[in-house]
Amino acid sequence: MCGIFGVCGKVFSSSVDQCIAGLKKLEYRGYDSSGIALFDKGAIQVVKSTGKVHHLEEKISHLKSLKTVSIAHTRWATHGGVVEANAHPHVDSENSLALVHNGIIENFFEIKLQLEKKGVLFRSQTDTEVIAHLFTDLYDGDLLGTMQRLLARLDGSFAIACIHKNHPDSLIVTKRDKPLTIAKDATLGQVLVTSDRNALYGGEFLTLDLEDNQVALLDQNAIQLFERDSSKIFPNFEPFTVKDTPHFKGEYSHFMLKEIFEQPSAIRRTLEGRYDLEGNRVLLNLPKAFEETFETVSKIALIGCGTSYHAACIAAHFLEELLGISAEAYIASEYRYRESLSDATTLVIAISQSGETADTIAALREAKKRKAKVLSITNVPYSSIIRDSDFHLMTQAGQEISVCSTKAFTSQLLLLYLLSLQMYQFRNGSLPFENNWIQNLRTLPSLIESLLQRKNLIEAIAAETQGFEKILFIGRQYMYYTALESSLKLKEINYTFSLSYPAGELKHGPLALIDENTLTVALLGNRTTFHKTISNVQEIQARNGKIFAVHQKDQNLDEISPDYSFSIDAPIPEQLLPILYAVALQLYAFYSALKKGHDIDHPKNLAKSVTVE
């Protein structure tokens, strides 16, 4: 959630400019407020601002000439509201240090009470300020020793970067359960610290991902790395090249719209090299160890959060149908407490765009403790989830900037279909005879392209349905999970209270909500249960509810004459239809939010990478 960026070593250009550039790339992690601390005339200067990073930028032009050690932060509020006092960096009472933090200090209240008894006055409601005062309480002139003692006192998850007025050339960092990367500019010698490699500028780096409870002391001359017991270890840096790919929206007004339109290419890339058309085989190039593990697997648990959980639901249904093996999707934050669900015969498939979602990480670690094997699917390389997994596969969606996930979701689905087919092939030697799966997957990009060309129709429906304050999404089987995802999109960027239900479940309660002010989006992609879903739509109409039907071109809707409709022409197996329906309803959510004038790429209260549990 929060993002940390720091500069030290041979700082070669304005620290302010560097930190602002880094923060802008980290803004997707949280954008409630931001701040920077650096040295000016021997003292620590801290500047903070609520709102987006450009607000901070406007406030710090007077410090632009400085080339000093500095730390910066972009916040997603956990403890305390969005006010400047709660923004990072936080300082101690004497302004002798400043620090930034990503994570949650679980025992902060207890430490706060102890410090208050010693006379410390707190100026914010954050858990982070506690770390600043505790650091000073423990400080004896030795930065490293103090940080080690601090580590022993903190419970929870954190990445911390700290500067101290007595050590103006140094930056000290540590972490537990939150990512922190040290990157040394291979040419200029400058050292950066960051929550995420995406924040680095273009160039050649030597990088090191800090391990839990390690402390790194960085200055002009050296990067020193220490274990928790203070033993010094050799830092093993790896070369890392960053191609600076500025985030351009190009011809699009929003990143979300751009990313919706990038889906055909994201899917093509995710498919590329992963099948043999002539041989009719899937080629995911999973290691032999995976195949061996899979032989012992009796059940599959797919875990994820939000949109990634919805991809898990669709894949679980497909896997079970295809392989006849028990496959279940779980919300990661719930799965981690379901002890009986994993053992040595369980394969856990962890799905996460960012690879940094705290709930998913916690769940997969719990599963590993119970001897389950974990295969992860992420879109971001070098992420924590990859490091924690036994096996991993990457979607090739390209960086997703908009908080609201679109191309990552459809790429996850594509890869999950491929993975399911690969598993079938492991068990049966070849792909199923019925349904030419590979050929059907290959047609998806062009089917999405045709759908996107008809965006104006969806835009018009979004305009016409603007007045509805209650929106229900219904579907059966695969279309129900797609309804969950479509409803989430609408909540997220349109801020509409929206529900999704399996169509057959309405009569068991939710039908009471229906009146003429309710719009029901009926996803009619399921062929096997089409008529049953049509009956459910009629039940809604009998209660004066309005209907927006998203359906197959060849389906006859005369029976229901929906108020609004959008047809999808897709002669492919219904198991693959979620991708197309999701794209259509991403457009619907986008245009609905656009009409309301929302900040679509940065919806309120949200962040792209959710690193708190």
Residues recognised as catalytic: 2, 608
Among residues 132 and 483, whose Cβ is nearest to ligand F6R?
A: 483
Should residue 208 be labelled a site residue for ligand F6R when binding is judged by CB under 6 A?
A: no
- 610 touches ligand F6R by CB under 6 A: yes
We find the least distance from the C-beta atom of residue 306 to ligand F6R, in angstroms, to be 2
Strands 90-91 and 3-9, how do they pair?
unpaired
CA 167 from chain center: how many Å?
36
Question: Binding to ligand F6R by residue 405, rule CB under 6 A?
Answer: yes
CB of 325 to ligand F6R, least distance (A): 24
Query: Interface with ligand F6R includes 549 (CB under 6 A)?
Result: no
Q: How far is the CB of 380 from ligand F6R (least distance, A)?
A: 8
- Measured from the CB atom, the residue of 158 and 590 that comes closer to ligand F6R is 590
Q: Report the b/e string of 554-577 with b at 16+ CB within 10 A.
A: eeebeebebbbbbbbebebbbbbb
Q: Does 357 bind ligand F6R (CB under 6 A)?
A: yes
Number of residues lying near ligand F6R (CB under 6 A): 14
| Coil, helix or strand at residue 94 | coil
The interface region with ligand F6R, picked from 267-275, 346-354, 442-450, 507-515 by CB under 6 A, is 346-354
Task: State the pairing for strand pair 518-524/470-475.
Answer: parallel
Q: How far is the CB of 290 from ligand F6R (least distance, A)?
A: 22
Task: Compare residues 129 and 259 and give the one whose CB is closer to ligand F6R.
Answer: 259
- Element at 371 (helix H, strand E): none
At residue 378, what are phi and psi to the nearest 5 degrees? -135, 170
Cβ closest to ligand F6R, residue 412 vs residue 420: 412
Which long-range contacts link 104-111 to residues 24+ away (Cβ below 8 Å)? 104/78, 104/79, 104/156, 104/157, 104/158, 104/612, 104/613, 105/130, 105/131, 105/154, 105/155, 105/156, 105/158, 106/155, 106/156, 107/153, 107/154, 107/155, 107/156, 108/79, 108/156, 111/153
Restricting to residues 69-88, name those near ligand F6R by CB under 6 A. Answer: none
- In Å, what is the CA distance from 115 to each residue of 8, 99, 154? 31, 17, 14
Contact between 354 and ligand F6R by CB under 6 A: the answer reads: yes
Nearest 10 degrees: Cα torsion 415, 417, 422, 423 = 120
Check residue 410 for interaction with ligand F6R (CB under 6 A). Answer: no
Residues 480-519 close enough to bind ligand F6R by CB under 6 A: 488, 492
Minimum distance from residue 437 beta carbon to ligand F6R (Å): 25
Q: How far apart are CA 496 and CA 488, in angstroms?
A: 10
Q: Based on CB atoms, which residue is closest to ligand F6R, 307 or 477?
A: 307
Per CB under 6 A, 352 contacts ligand F6R: yes
Structure tokens at 372: 């389950």
Contacts of ligand F6R in 267-306 (CB under 6 A): 305-306
Opening angle at CA 312, ends 308 and 313, nearest 5: 120
In whole angstroms, the minimum distance from the beta carbon of 611 to ligand F6R comes to 10
308 binds ligand F6R (CB under 6 A): yes
What's 198's DSSP letter?
A: G
Among 360, 395, 422, 567, binds ligand F6R (CB under 6 A): 360
What is the residue type of 346? T
Helix (H) or strand (E) holding 449: helix 437-452
* Min separation Cβ 299 and ligand F6R, Å: 22
- Contact residues toward ligand F6R (CB under 6 A) are 305-308, 352-354, 357, 360, 404-405, 488, 492, 610
